[in-house]
Amino acid sequence: MNIDLQGNVLIRHQSIPDCQKCEESKKILDQNKIKYTIINADKKFFGSLMKITKSTQVPQIIINGEFIGDYDQLVKYFNKENDENS
């Protein structure tokens, strides 16, 4: 699987179809007008990604090519960004 991770990406694991934090992450990205690609990763792809990110959480979020982390890190990212813009 050759995928460009330089843009805005939300990576789900295909074995978790009802991922609540994935849905919440999508809402945050939508509220902040971030266009993104959703990748439903298989076990092999997610395993390769974990070697890079050192994270086992779902979803994995990348914004502008920068690894943000999971849902909790996404919330912190936008809280920090909003604080800086206040």
Sequential pLDDT tens for the chain (86 residues): 455 566 788 888 877 878 999 999 999 999 999 999 998 888 888 888 888 888 888 899 999 989 999 999 999 999 987 677 66
Task: Answer whether residue 70 is part of any domain.
Answer: no
How far apart CA 61 and CA 74 sit, in angstroms, is 7
| pLDDT number for residue 68 | 93
If one counts the domains in the chain, the total is 1
Range of the domain at 41: 14-64
Task: Answer whether residue 39 is part of any domain.
Answer: yes
| pLDDT number for residue 35 | 93
Q: Is 64 left (phi over 0), alpha (psi -120 to 50) or beta?
A: left
Record the tokens describing residue 61, joined without a space: 């979020």
Task: Answer whether residue 82 is part of any domain.
Answer: no
